[in-house]
Amino acid sequence: MHRVRLIVTIAFTLALLFTASTHAQSKNRGILLQDLTWIEAEKLLTPDTVVVIPLGAAAKEHGPHLRLDNDLSLARYYTDRVLKEADVVIAPTIPYHFYPSFVEYPGSTHLRFETARDLVVDIVKSLANYAPRRFYILNTGVSTMRPLRASAELLAKEGILMRFTDILTADADAAEGLLKQERGTHADESETSMMLYMYPDRVNMKLAAKDDSPNKPGGLTRKKDGQGTYSPTGIWGDATLATREKGRLLTEATVKTILKDIADIRTAALPAAN
């Protein structure tokens, strides 16, 4: 009898878990491409579908207080928000791209401009082959934007519309008057604040630092006489000023911009194919 009750209890628990899981999934407006079979994907990849492709470095230095996968974590957070709030198909995240400014810091990875440009073009074209013509790169980098523009230009020649997040302006309204650092854009007051809001367990504020030498062409350098902006920590800005509340304001402003970008691309005119 005890064994029967145990089996019934387990079955009931599993049923509850399944119901909860199904209910949680039903709250999402978007669809993760990797969760589908090809038969299901065929039905969802239509000319009206907006395909979102997250882009975030899986290994790029972010100072001593943030992890190498910081951009990948940002992409994951924004992807989860878009999944809940937008009717889109979300493709797998691109973990490598164009990051020339960080190659002096161990663990950082970087693709050549042409490789990064063509990587996105090939991914988009392969998915466009099934009917979609509107793509949005959920971009979490700064240096990535130049090859992304080049990707968009090549795709436009084939009648494919591709846009991407301008991470420097996405939170501009919230950042104005909020940030106190004199200068900076990397592992700084802004980025550290956002991580404190999204994933506080991935931030070590004891190691946060102010490292904001005047900006010079050539990326960041660990060498005092090196080419670029001198940064022995890999930070450019003042990470010590970061707070969770600043991160909340900046993050929510960025999410709002991303969702607006997606809404805009849904109704935008397609480029004329050459």
Model-wide pTM > 0.85: yes
Q: Is 266 exposed, middle or buried (0-12, 13-18, 19+ CB in 10 A)?
A: middle
Listed in sequence order, the residues at least 6 apart from 200 whose beta carbon sits closer than 8 Å to its beta carbon are: 244
Burial class (CB in 10 A: 0-12, 13-18, 19+), 25: exposed
Beta strands 237-238 and 210-211, pairing class: antiparallel
- Spell out the alpha helix ranges (H) of 135-187: 145-156, 172-175
State pLDDT tens for residues 51-90.
Answer: 999 999 999 999 999 999 999 999 999 999 999 999 999 9
Report the SS3 class of residue 222: coil
Query: What's the pLDDT score for residue 229?
Result: 96
Residues with Cβ within 8 Å of residue 37, at least 6 apart in sequence? none
Residue 26's pLDDT is 55
Q: Residue 58 falls within a domain, yes or no?
A: yes
CB 50 within 8 A of CB 85: no
Identify the band that residue 274 occupies on the pLDDT scale cut at 50, 70 and 90.
confident
Q: Is the pLDDT of residue 23 over 50?
A: no
Using CA atoms, how far apart are residues 102 and 30, in angstroms rounded to an integer?
A: 34
CA–CA gap between residue 109 and residue 87 (Å, rounded): 33
pLDDT tens, 185-203? 999 999 999 999 999 999 9
Residue 55 lies in a domain: yes
- Strands annotated E in the chain: 31-32, 50-55, 89-90, 134-139, 161-164, 210-211, 220-221, 229-230, 237-238
pLDDT digits (tens, 9 = 90+) for 112-123: 999 999 999 999
Domain range for 169 is 29-267
In 3D, which of 261, 260, 266, 258 has the Cα closest to residue 48? 266
d(CA 121, CA 150): 9
pLDDT of residue 75: 98
Q: Is residue 3 part of a domain?
A: no
Q: Return the percentage of the chain with pLDDT > 90, whole number.
A: 86
Residue 123 lies in a domain: yes
The more confidently predicted of residues 250 and 10 is 250
pLDDT band at 27 (very low <50, low <70, confident <90, very high): confident
Strand locations in 2-91, DSSP E?
A: 31-32, 50-55, 89-90
74 in any annotated domain = yes
> The domain that contains 193 carries what CATH number?
3.40.50.10310
- DSSP 3-state assignment of 153? helix
Task: Give me the chain's average pLDDT, please.
Answer: 92
The number of domains in the chain is 1
Q: Is residue 130 part of a domain?
A: yes
- Residue 82 maps to a domain: yes
Mean pLDDT of 247-270: 97
> What's the Cα-to-Cα distance from 58 to each of 7, 70, 106, 141, 155, rounded to whole Å?
43, 7, 13, 12, 25
The answer as to whether 9 is a domain residue is no
CA–CA separation, 151 vs 162, rounded Å? 8
| Confidence category of residue 2, pLDDT binned at 50, 70, 90 | low
